[in-house]
Amino acid sequence: MSDVESASDTDALFQPRVALASLSGESDAAWARRGAPYAGVAFLGGIAVDAKTREAARELVARDRHEFLPPDPLAFVDDQFSKLAAVSIRPGVNVRTTTLEPLVALAGLCRRHGALVEINAHCRQDEMCAVGAGESLLRDTERLCEQVRAVARMGVDVSVKVRTEVPGVSLTTLAPRLEQAGACFIHVDAMDSEQVVAEVARSTTMRIIANNGVRDRETVFEYLDYGADAVSVGRPSDDPRVLSRVRDATDEWFTQQERAQKR
């Protein structure tokens, strides 16, 4: 039992069990619409919503990285969600912040749209880490859990995007803390440590979305065999050939599981 109960039933996972992972400055409503035939959820963003992360995003743009930097980030997200209202995909937004007030405001917006909030504890760019966002949150468990609690108390489903291979960080220790704080999903970028997904699966009852290198039947089956509940596609998420292979493989894996359970 978590400190904060989410409003929705996370046992009813998105279908199909494929997510479109956020790509900074690229993952907008048009991108989600194109991927909708193949995925059950699309994480827009990442979006920097407070002063420190927006300044870090501007520094990233200055060195030729892509970032969303609208004048009003919440109005931008609201507009993007509205454009997906008639699209058969659940929206979510990957958010970077160092303060709670804009995060809570964003959670209220997501509640109106039935969207997920995904807290970014994943970005490893120096500028974001220097202000206390992104990957730096993996080393500050209480602050990360504070963000999770703030969103979950709004009755919004929370995903936390994390990465493996961060020195001094154990995801198997972190995951139960995130679950206790009210997170529904842990979105694991496995890097080159795919087996960590199995270790995380043993440490938590949160739903696990596995990311990194998801391209085909082999990679889909590997992650799902390790205990992931869904997979996500990052860089190739604008390639319908990859998305079609991933969706077909995901559907096949779960069909096999259902048949095996009926025997």
Cα separation, 213 vs 211, in Å, equals 7
pLDDT of residue 41: 98
pLDDT of residue 1: 34
Q: Look up residue 209 and give its two tokens.
A: 């979305």
Residue 38 zone, left/alpha/beta (φ > 0; ψ -120 to 50; rest) = alpha
Residue type present at position 13 = L
- Check if the beta carbon of residue 131 is closer than 8 Å to that of residue 53: yes
Phi, psi of 45 (to 5 degrees): 110, -155
What is the sign, positive or negative, of the torsion defined by CA atoms of 10, 46, 233, 146? negative
CATH architecture of 18-262: Alpha-Beta Barrel (3.20)
Cα separation, 132 vs 127, in Å, equals 9
Cα separation, 203 vs 175, in Å, equals 7
Strands 185-189 and 207-211 come out as parallel
Q: Look up residue 53 and give its two tokens.
A: 């992360």
pLDDT of residue 10: 45
Q: From 41, 70, 39, select the one nearest 185 (Cα to Cα).
A: 41
Matching residue, tokens 């065999």: 225
Cα separation, 165 vs 149, in Å, equals 25
- Check if the beta carbon of residue 14 is closer than 8 Å to that of residue 230: yes
pTM for the structure as a whole: 0.94
Q: Which residue ranges in the chain fall short of pLDDT 70?
A: 1-12
Element (H, E) at 144: helix 141-152
DSSP 14: -
User: Could you read off the pLDDT of 127-162 as tens digits, one per residue?
Assistant: 999 999 999 999 999 999 999 999 999 999 999 999
Matching residue, tokens 């359970």: 261
Q: 3-state DSSP: the chain helix, strand, coil percent, rounded to 5?
A: 45, 15, 35
Give Cα separations from 249 to 38, 120, 218, 219, 252 (angstroms). Answer: 11, 27, 8, 9, 5
pLDDT of residue 6: 41
Q: Look up residue 128 and give its two tokens.
A: 């974001």
pLDDT of residue 13: 86
Cα separation, 218 vs 27, in Å, equals 26
